[in-house]
Amino acid sequence: MIGQAALLACDWGTTNLRAWTLDDAGRVVAHREFALGVSRLAPGEAAERFQDEVQPGLDAVGLPAILCGMVGSTLGWTVAPYLDCPAGLTDLAGCLAAVEAHAAWVRIVPGLRCAGIAGSPDVMRGEETQVLGWIGQDPARARGRHVVCHPGTHSKWVLVEDGRILRFVTAMTGELFSVLTQHSVLRSDAPAEDTVAFDEGLAAAAEGDALAARLFTARARVVGADRAADTTPSYLSGLLIGAEVASVPRLMGLSGYMPVALLGDAALCSLYARAFEARAMRCETFDGEAAALAGLFALYRSGERP
């Protein structure tokens, strides 16, 4: 039986804010979404909107609150500095950033940083909470080595070892799809719902190399081979996702036989699962929202509280 609200939990990203109240066992009492992504806010506005809209909107004034995502970046409320990998739940819980609102305890989860490709670091904010929540949902995941793929605007491929995030690689697949379909010769308003064209894109991705050259096939197939123009977004989606699935595991030095946990939105994960299947790679899909809530609640329970 669900109890009274005891915690306000928020996943506050670039374009949207998802908020829940949870009872003292971590079960959802209420849920709302707000069009308050940090990219839409002026400097210093996050605290004001949180107090004026989010807390009252969920009848959560005075409740302790924990927030993850871009709200802890330079675009958000306050900077919650990156922690270096490897890092686990205890590490993040010990470095929650304190902010003031209509509650005695409001904290923001820090992001993670690791050595990336080409000599540059890689970073994440928000996905670490989902991955740690996913680990906590099954004790077996805290043992041994696991690979998690978190599809999205900036997809994250995460290597987990003995319950800690060891390292990760980011692929800008979702953002690249958006830019190309809105601002390039491949622009189109058609929905990406054609599975035949998507599979053609998967095949065209091959091993993910020479992507700039392969991208032009999305136009050439229309103007030179009479494919329907409204299939371009589906083809492009398959090409980009296929290239990511083919190339990123190699970047991370992972074996193609290692199963991958797909963590995130069900519809997007289904496209990635199709790409894995085309390459005879094993994967299993998990609910990203449930993992985010598990992670936020676990960090709240593990952090220093009043």
Kindly write down the DSSP assignment for every residue of 255-295, as one continuous string: -TTS-EEEEE-HHHHHHHHHHHHHTT--EEEEEHHHHHHHH
Instruction: Determine phi and psi for 206, rounding to 5 degrees.
Output: 50, -120
10 Å Cβ neighbour count for 228?
A: 12
Question: Which residues, including other chains, have CB under 8 Å from residue 103's CB and lie 6 or more apart?
Answer: 8, 55, 60, 61, 62, 63, 64, 65
Angle 133-301-34 from CA coordinates, rounded to 5° = 65
Handedness of CA 252, 255, 257, 258 (dihedral sign): negative
The Cα-based distances of 23 to 26, 57, 100 in angstroms read 5, 17, 22
The pLDDT value recorded for residue 159 is: 97
Give Dmax over CA atoms of the chain in angstroms: 67
Give yes or no for a cis peptide into 86 (omega within 30° of 0).
yes
Stated as kind and residue range, the H or E segment containing 167 is: strand 164-171
The pLDDT value recorded for residue 1 is: 77
Angstrom distance (rounded) from CA 193 to CA 73: 34
* Bridge partners, residue 114, by sequence: 122
Residues with pLDDT less than 70, the chain: 256, 304-306
The pLDDT value recorded for residue 270 is: 98
Here the tokens at position 207 are 């091993």
CB 114 within 8 A of CB 108: no
The pLDDT value recorded for residue 306 is: 58
Per DSSP bridges, beta strands 260-264 and 283-287 are parallel
Stated as kind and residue range, the H or E segment containing 42 is: none
Reduced to 3 states, what is the DSSP secondary structure of residue 140? helix
The pLDDT value recorded for residue 305 is: 64
> Percentage of the chain surpassing pLDDT 90?
94
Angstrom distance (rounded) from CA 221 to CA 293: 43
